């Protein structure tokens, strides 16, 4: 949501100086509509979750929307529920890792990637992601290990 707020603030400021550029007004309106649409979508899917709390489609939708509007705690809560239903879903583990990365929680991120690698040990994408994260946090030996595994596939 912070990105939307910044974008709206910047556009509002720009509009003050460039009143003749209609496109700026259009962007401003589109952003507001997108935010409102997210709220409407969440309301609809909340109703579905009340009917069936284990509705995978609704949970996935919630996860994506909460991630986009930067409500990361809510995204994690839905991911945790999703992983209770489908514990070996590598896509959900990767989504969980991405949310943890955005929150700066590298330990939990690497835990998720390790779980995903237990399920699919030779997944090139996950190995490279692990390597990049280890490099980012200064664990170069682990980074090279994952990169070596990737290169041996």
pLDDT in tens, the chain (153 residues): 566 566 556 545 554 555 555 555 555 556 656 666 777 777 777 787 888 888 888 888 889 888 888 889 999 999 999 999 999 999 999 999 999 999 999 999 999 999 999 999 999 999 999 999 999 999 999 999 999 999 998
Q: H/E element holding 5? A: helix 2-17
Distance CA 31, CA 67 (A): 16
- Sorted by where each begins, the domain ranges of the chain are 2-120
Q: pTM, whole model, 2 decimals?
A: 0.73
Query: What pLDDT sits at residue 49?
Result: 81
Domain 2-120 class in CATH? mainly alpha
DSSP characters over 90-153? HHHHHHHHHHHHHHT-HHHHHHHHHHHHHHSTT-HHHHHHHHHHHHHTT-HHHHHHHHHHHHT-
Coil vs helix vs strand at 40: helix
């Amino acid at each position: 949501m912070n990105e939307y707020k910044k974008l709206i603030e910047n556009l509002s400021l720009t509009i003050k100086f460039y009143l003749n550029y209609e496109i700026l007004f259009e962007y401003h309106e589109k952003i507001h509509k997108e935010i409102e649409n997210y709220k409407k979508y969440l309301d609809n899917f909340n109703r579905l979750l009340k009917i069936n709390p284990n509705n995978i489609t609704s949970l996935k939708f919630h996860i994506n929307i909460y991630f986009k509007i930067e409500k990361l705690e809510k995204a994690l809560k839905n991911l945790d529920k999703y992983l209770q239903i489908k514990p070996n879903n590598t896509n959900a583990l990767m989504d969980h890792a991405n949310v943890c990365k955005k929150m700066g929680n590298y330990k939990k991120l690497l835990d998720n990637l390790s779980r995903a690698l237990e399920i699919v040990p030779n997944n090139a994408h996950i190995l490279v992601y692990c390597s990049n994260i280890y490099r980012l946090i200064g664990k170069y030996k682990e980074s090279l290990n994952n990169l070596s595994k990737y290169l041996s596939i």
